[in-house]
């Protein structure tokens, strides 16, 4: 096992910012942990609004040759799966390297429609590879 390069512990919630692309740069958005408190008073029953979203997961395998070519092909295929879909998507790629993360951050379709969990390798458990997540915005709570 590689030494951890971050300050989180397995099994414990740890706030981590996520990143959104605007004005030519990836900007951090602070994440908040904790319970939300409902306002005091009589409760009005609320019917949750149902919505659909896609979840895609792919093990990129950091030990295989041709890193950039494989990640470029993976991104092209993922784009074909989510393009022009009426619902949001969440994509998790396992065993990605720093160069994979750089390709994701440069992909126009990711920049235009997705937030990413990692803009750097700071929160990766291993100095060699990580598991970034990117998602298109989910419908707001009503």
122-140, pLDDT tens digit by residue? 877 777 777 777 777 755 5
Structural domain contains residue 40: no
DSSP 137: P
Q: Can you list the alpha helix ranges (DSSP code H) found in the chain?
A: 67-82, 98-106, 108-113
Q: Give the pLDDT confidence score for residue 2 in this predicted structure.
A: 39
Residue-number span of the structural domain to which 105 is assigned: 51-142
Structural domain contains residue 64: yes
CB 134 within 8 Å of CB 94: no
Structural domain contains residue 120: yes
Structural domain contains residue 44: no
Structural domain contains residue 2: no
Structural domain contains residue 118: yes
pTM, two decimal places: 0.69
**Nearest-angstrom CA–CA distance, 135 and 110:** 9
Structural domain contains residue 21: no
Structural domain contains residue 20: no
CB 134 within 8 Å of CB 110: yes
CB 132 within 8 Å of CB 115: no
Domain count, the chain: 1
pLDDT digits (tens, 9 = 90+) for 67-103: 889 899 999 999 999 988 888 888 988 888 888 989 9
């Amino acid at each position: 096992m590689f030494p951890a390069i971050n300050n989180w512990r397995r099994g414990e919630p740890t706030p981590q910012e996520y990143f959104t692309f605007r004005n030519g740069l990836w900007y951090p958005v602070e994440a908040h942990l904790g319970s939300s408190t409902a306002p005091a008073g009589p409760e009005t029953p609320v019917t949750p609004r149902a919505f659909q979203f896609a979840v895609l997961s792919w093990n990129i395998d950091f030990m295989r040759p041709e890193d950039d070519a494989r990640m470029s092909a993976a991104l092209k295929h993922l784009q074909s799966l989510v393009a022009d879909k009426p619902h949001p998507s969440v994509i998790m790629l396992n065993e990605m390297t720093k160069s994979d993360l750089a390709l994701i951050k440069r992909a126009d379709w990711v920049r235009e429609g997705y937030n990413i969990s990692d803009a750097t390798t700071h929160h990766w458990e291993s100095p060699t590879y990580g598991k970034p997540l990117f998602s298109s915005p989910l419908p707001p709570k009503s």
